[in-house]
Amino acid sequence: QVQLVQSGAEVKKPGASVKVSCKVSGYTLTELSMHWVRQAPGKGLEWMGGFDPEDGETIYAQKFQGRVTMTEDTSTDTAYMELSSLRSEDTAVYYCATCSGGDCYSYYFDYWGQGTLVTVSS
Amino acid sequence: SSELTQDPAVSVALGQTVRITCQGDSLRSYYASWYQQKPGQAPVLVIYGKNNRPSGIPDRFSGSSSGNTASLTITGAQAEDEADYYCNSRDSSGKGVFGGGTKLTVL
């Protein structure tokens, strides 16, 4: 059983950066394909990026290229998502989500973190 | 970029069967997965792969696919199935994508 526990809510000013963490337990990070998904208030789910097991690389959505960095610390089994140059439209709940199976190439996510609300406001 | 299209809203009478669809070119190559999301909660995976249900998901949920269309069927909808449903998949470049979501109302 995988558990994903995310860091707490953040309030940031426009132009700042935010770094959200996602602590894994029950599995090691190297056994998982970790992705990040966000949801603006009243809106749908939006894939931001994640690990593609087909080519072994982290892929970012075009929309966030140059602004997002996803990293992993395997010594602590913690994944991070850093988003820079924040604007009001980045106000959203950010989720880490992972596939724990051996067939994750279709990007299904069987475990989710509890979500981290990031509010961007001056 | 790849896109997945869902109907914004669907309704079903209690105990009846409802199908929620998801269309996109990437579904010709990759399976869709389906998520249920209730207000204030994280999404929950209900269907993945060809037609697989994670442990704990009732067997009234099933999935199918044909061409560029994936479907989630709820056979005998219950009041607790009222929620938003999202499909997701990926494209050949590794980009993931979610559908816009379908709000299911159980009457």
Cα separations in angstroms, B103 against A12, A109, B37, B75, B87: 31, 20, 10, 17, 12
Q: Count of CB atoms within 10 A of residue B105's CB?
A: 13
Q: Are the beta carbons of A107 and B1 separated by less than 8 Å?
A: no
Tokens of A2: 């995988």
Q: What is the pLDDT of residue B62?
A: 98
Most B CBs within 10 Å, among A45, A55, A114, to test the B interface: A45
Q: What is the pLDDT of residue A103?
A: 81
Rounded CA gap, A47 and A61, in Å? 7
Asked if residues B97 and B24 have their Cβ atoms less than 8 Å apart, the reply is yes
Task: Name the one residue in this structure whose structure tokens are 């850093």.
Answer: A82
72-101 of B, contacting A, C-beta below 8 A = 84, 86, 88-90, 93-101
Q: Quote the percentage of chain A above a pLDDT of 90.
A: 86
Q: What is the pLDDT of residue B1?
A: 52
